[in-house]
């Protein structure tokens, strides 16, 4: 079978310097004698927690035809490691299931109450195993809930840096440390306070298919609201103008 992939190892175990100038040489991969007719793609094969992208290139790296490139320079690109992911699996301790639709924020600011003003990245918890990911980098971070429905309905019990049985935020705080290029996986525990019938923060979706509006409802589960929030709707912000959601509910 013909070879369809060409690999070169880029990372060097030690620093390299130019013999004449003494300047440090960046990691480099060079491909020679590559077929010029096929349509090629230039990319990186990296570990899961890395977010790598091209920051310098005069070519479309997804559609390369070497016969159309400069015969002397070929195709050049500079790749950059932009982020190291903070991944996790969240659990709602009231229901025992994933708090799907819950929004986390990751910030370099502390305490967590200031995250709404200074947060850098945010994400939404998925229904599948409560998975989420946040774009971080090496350093000390603070995990919290995004201002709005997430912060109003839930409290963070533990950031989960040591697994499901990590200490509460009152004991070990809300800090997350990214100390290696391998990223970090955390297991936050959250809890809501009073019972309500909505299955999650993402209770229903308004979908238009072939001109027909369809309402997709989830199966109710038992979770809890905070005191004083018993009558408020999860998807409607306070004092929000009446719109499509209110029309759907009244239909």
Per-residue model confidence as pLDDT tens digits over 76-107: 899 999 999 999 999 999 888 899 899 999 98
DSSP string, 229-240: -TT--SSS-TTP
Per-residue model confidence as pLDDT tens digits over 125-184: 998 999 999 999 999 999 999 888 888 889 999 998 888 888 888 888 889 999 999 999
What mean pLDDT comes out for the span 218-244? 49
Which is higher by pLDDT, 234 or 52? 52
Residue 246: is its pLDDT beyond 70? no
Task: Let me know if 26 is exposed, middle or buried by CB neighbors in 10 A (0-12, 13-18, 19+).
Answer: exposed
Residue 204: is its pLDDT beyond 80? no
Question: What DSSP element (H or E) covers 204?
Answer: strand 204-209
Mean pLDDT of the chain: 78
Per-residue model confidence as pLDDT tens digits over 185-194: 999 999 886 5
Classify domain 84-194 at the CATH class level.
Answer: mainly beta
Distance linking the first and last C-alpha atoms of the chain: 60
Name, in order, each residue with C-beta under 8 angstroms of 220's C-beta and a sequence gap of 6 or more.
Answer: 197, 198, 199
Percent of the residues in the chain that have a pLDDT greater than 90, as a whole number: 32
What is residue 225's predicted lDDT score, i.e. its pLDDT? 52
Q: Where in the chain is the domain with CATH 2.60.40.10?
A: 84-194
Residue carrying structure tokens 């996790």: 88
């Amino acid at each position: 079978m013909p070879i369809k992939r060409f690999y070169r190892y880029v990372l060097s175990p030690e620093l390299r310097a130019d013999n004449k100038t003494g300047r440090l040489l960046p990691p480099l991969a060079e491909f020679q004698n590559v077929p010029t007719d096929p349509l090629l793609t230039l990319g990186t094969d990296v570990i899961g927690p890395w977010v790598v992208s091209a920051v310098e290139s005069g070519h479309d790296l997804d559609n390369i035809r070497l016969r159309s490139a400069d015969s002397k320079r070929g195709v050049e690109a500079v790749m950059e490691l932009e982020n190291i992911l903070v991944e996790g699996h969240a659990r709602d301790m009231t229901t025992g299931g994933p708090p799907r639709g819950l929004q986390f924020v990751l910030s370099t600011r502390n305490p967590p109450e200031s995250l709404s003003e200074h947060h850098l990245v945010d994400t939404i918890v998925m229904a599948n195993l409560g998975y989420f990911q946040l774009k971080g980098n090496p350093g000390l971070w603070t995990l919290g809930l995004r201002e709005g429905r997430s912060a109003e309905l839930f409290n963070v019990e533990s950031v989960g840096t040591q697994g499901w049985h990590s200490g509460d935020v009152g004991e070990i705080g809300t800090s997350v440390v990214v100390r290696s290029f391998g990223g970090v996986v955390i297991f936050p525990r959250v809890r809501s306070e009073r019972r309500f019938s909505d299955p999650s923060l993402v209770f229903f979706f308004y979908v238009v298919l072939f001109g027909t509006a369809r309402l997709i409802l989830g199966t109710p589960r038992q979770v809890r609201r905070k005191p004083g929030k018993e009558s408020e709707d999860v998807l409607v912000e306070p004092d929000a103008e009446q719109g499509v959601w209110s029309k759907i509910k009244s239909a």
